[in-house]
Amino acid sequence: MASNTQKDGSAPKENMLWGGRFTGGLDPLMVSYNESIHFDRALYAQDIAGSIAFARANIKTGILTEEEFAKIEKGLLAVKAEWEADKFVIVPGQDEDIHTANERRLGEIIGKDVAGKLHTGRSRNDQVATDMRLWLRDRLTDMNGYLATLLKTIASRAEAEIEHVMPGYTHLQRAQPVRWSHLLMSHATAFSQDYERLSQVHARVNRSPLGFGALAGNPFGIDREAMATELGFESVLPNSMAGIADRDFIIETLQWGSLLMLHMSRLAEDLIIYSTAEFAFVRLADAYSTGSSLMPQKKNPDSLELLRGKAGRTFGHMAGLMMSVKGTPSTYNKDLQESWEAMLDTVRTVGDSIQIATGVLSTLTIFPAKMQAALSPDMLATDLAEYLVRKGVPFRDTHHISGQVVALAEKQGRPMDQLSVKELQEVDARFGDDIKSIFDYQRSVEQRTATGGCSKSAVMKQIEVLKKLLE
């Protein structure tokens, strides 16, 4: 973009905010390498809002008159209108970032004499930190809404489909019967914790660094609290050196997004497995599937595979930024520019992913008969042991006895529920005529009434807790 600028070795352009110190030219590749305008332009509105708040506060410091502020505000709103209409013209080699671009254009609109006063006591260091926090705060608010919709979708589905029983798995081996709704709520539990964490992250993002200058603070007694209030921040950061260098709020957002995407990946993996012909418990809607260019019969769960794959993308951004920041000395260093792309891409990826997952879950078809058919009597071996526990037999003994029944059924080549009472009593005389009632999958899940279990009442309690959280 800037490869043909300054080939004559001239000094940096005079309207670069830092150009006065330098007499030698920049390598054209260095110009492009240094620029961030191609991605931080996304924050034009936040940069303008911060500039207006800063200018307004400088009326009280005496830096600006009311008339000068009015010109600056009007000019900045005109710049914003150009961005919104996609008419803003970026000047390669001069507009290295959004701050430089906006100030350059402001000077063209209202004149440099007044526009030049805007930057008094301000640095791009506190500008960029302010812009990022403003932008990220609003995106996290959007994310909160997306996540709430996902959780409501899961809760609604779990309540409507509470009757259905399916195999529960450990080690991907059939273990015990559970309700399909209980599985859904297991994922909702993880996402609800992400939902709670998000509000905590949002609170730490929503703190103002505006007025810190380059690193030492503002020398004109600017009212930082007034600027923070105008911009909707909850509080101001307390230390200028820490606030300028702080990218913890971005790293924490990336950590939050990585954890959410980890949970998203696990949900996707479950649904991918259950959508295979070998399981056939669920089927994705056409809107979230693709076909094969070679095999006409294929219906691929690409939406879920992308959710699973993009988890790795978010992990990479998080780890990469942490490695970039970990060795930086105090206050601002150019390494921190690496936080831009990681933040922008992660927020977009996570936001899109939550919405895709909501679409998948709201349109998913389930096949309860297939779930029922996948249940087998050996999955009730624990129920068999619990039957004897209720007769006063120690669990360690009942576990061994139940294992003997499983072994007998395997030896006989028959399911456990087809063993006669007499055969069961030969294993242990304490089995009574009522033992056959054990081999009932609905009965099994309804035994799990304790909080967090998979009985109807326990699942409904989970759903109500989730609904209360979302209120």
Residues annotated as catalytic are 171, 292
Which burial class, exposed, middle or buried, applies to 155 when counting CB atoms under 10 A from its CB (0-12, 13-18, 19+)?
buried
Place of tokens 């294929």: 298
Alpha-carbon distances of 38 from 42, 341, 414, 419, rounded to whole Å:
8, 10, 68, 72
Q: Of 388, 392, 391, whose CA–CA distance to 405 is shortest?
A: 388
Strands 365-366 and 282-283: antiparallel
Find, among 288, 454, 431, 420, the residue nearest to 364 by Cα.
Answer: 288
**Rounded to whole angstroms, how far apart are CA atoms 174 and 170?**
7
Q: How deeply is 417 buried, as exposed, middle or buried, from its count of CB atoms within 10 A (0-12, 13-18, 19+)?
A: middle
As a whole number of angstroms, the distance between CA 128 and CA 122 comes to: 11
In sequence order, the β-bridge partners of residue 167 are 177
Write out the two tokens for 449.
Answer: 């009434």
Q: What is the SS3 assignment for 280? A: coil
Return the SS3 of 298: coil
Residue with tokens 């791009």: 124
Reference 106, options 210, 221, 17; nearest CA is: 17
Phi, psi of 236 (to 5 degrees): -110, 150
Q: Please state, in angstroms and rounded to a whole number, the distance separating the CA atoms of residues 126 and 337.
A: 13
How far is it, in rounded angstroms, from Cα 149 to Cα 282?
A: 21
Closest CA to 465 of 158, 141, 143: 158
Cβ atoms of 364 and 284 closer than 8 Å: yes
- Residue 447 tokens read as 């035994």
d(CA 106, CA 102): 6
DSSP state of 41: G
With 0-12 / 13-18 / 19 or more C-beta atoms within 10 angstroms meaning exposed / middle / buried, residue 231 is buried
